[in-house]
Amino acid sequence: MSITRKWAAKQQRALEILIRLQRLYPDATCTLNYETPVQLLVATILSAQCTDERVNKVTPALFARFPDAPAIASADIQDLESLVRSTGFYRNKAKNIQGACRAIVEKFGGKVPKRMEELLELPGVARKTANVVLAHAYGIHQGVTVDTHVKRLSYRLGLTEETDPIRVERDLIRLLPQPDWENWSIRLIYHGRSICMARNPNCSSCALADLCPSASEPQRHS
Ligand code: SF4
């Protein structure tokens, strides 16, 4: 098969997977709790190396005391550290959320910027966090969110041979329609949590098995 036809077949398979994921998880949404773009940004920074469930236990007290960028920017760093402690790497995370909020106040008029390049200037913000914030706070799809689940499943599903998140994102951007970039990520995260776990994926119960090369090639599971 020519490279062009192979690519078209892969694109077609990606679309079928997307349709199936939408049927499987029709109500999938961001599982972090927040009320404003700043709170979403902070919650997303805290979710690095941590579950959304754990972050959602921490943010009510954090946002009750420091609800917006000016409040977090001027908070005592030790207060922030103790409030986010249970999310892990708390010193770094406290430093980043304060640094990000200070930059938001000083450079962006107190509002989370809507441009990828500007978001990437904020401490603790890489493309994954920026994509989540743009998509869920503003409905802007500038990239595909690639977290550990999206990276693992996209590889297992044979849609990328890459393992670096930036390269995985580049492949997914070429394969998927832009309006569905975040639909893809959110639903793949649900599937990664419930069926296609890092260890022991449940291929025999997976509704994507007939579209997934790893169902019959367990060596792709790693
Ligand atoms: S068939 Fe197996 S490897 Fe493929 S998506 Fe489903 S659970 Fe994951």
Q: Which residues line ligand 1 (CB under 6 A)?
A: 153, 156-157, 195-196, 201-203, 206, 208-209, 212, 214-215
**185 and 168 Cβ atoms separated by less than 8 Å:** no
**41 and 100 Cβ atoms separated by less than 8 Å:** yes
Q: pLDDT tens digits for 95-120?
A: 999 999 999 999 999 999 999 999 99
* Topology of domain 3-28+144-221, CATH: Endonuclease Iii, domain 2 (1.10.1670)
Residues of the chain with CATH 1.10.340.30: 37-138
CA nearest ligand 1 atom 1, residue: 209
> How distant, in Å, are the alpha carbons of 29, 119, 140, 160 from that of 20?
16, 32, 23, 19
Cα–ligand 1 centroid distance for 199 (angstroms): 11
Q: Determine the pLDDT at residue 190.
A: 96
**84 and 90 Cβ atoms separated by less than 8 Å:** yes
Cα–ligand 1 centroid distance for 13 (angstroms): 14
Query: pTM for the full model?
Result: 0.92
Burial of 210 (0-12, 13-18, 19+ CB in 10 A): exposed
Residues of the chain with CATH 1.10.1670.10: 3-28+144-221
pLDDT at 221 over 80: no
For residue 27, count other CB atoms closer than 10 A to its CB.
5
**Which is catalytic among the residues 128, 151, 171, 180?**
128
Q: Determine the pLDDT at residue 217.
A: 78
Q: pLDDT tens digits for 49-76?
A: 999 999 999 999 999 999 999 999 999 9
128 given a catalytic annotation? yes
Question: Residue 206, annotated ligand binder?
Answer: yes
Q: pLDDT tens digits for 119-178?
A: 999 999 999 999 999 999 999 999 999 999 999 999 999 999 999 999 999 999 999 999
Three-state secondary-structure class, residue 176: coil
Query: What is the best residue among 184, 208, 222 to mutate for testing ligand 1's pocket, by most ligand atoms within 8 Å of CB?
Result: 208
Question: Residue 212, annotated ligand binder?
Answer: yes
**Which is catalytic among the residues 6, 79, 147, 164?**
147
**63 and 80 Cβ atoms separated by less than 8 Å:** no
164 given a catalytic annotation? no
> How distant, in Å, are the alpha carbons of 67, 126, 134, 167, 172 from that of 144?
28, 12, 11, 11, 7
Calpha distance 39→22 (Å, rounded): 27
Domain 37-138 grouped into CATH 1.10.340.30:
yes
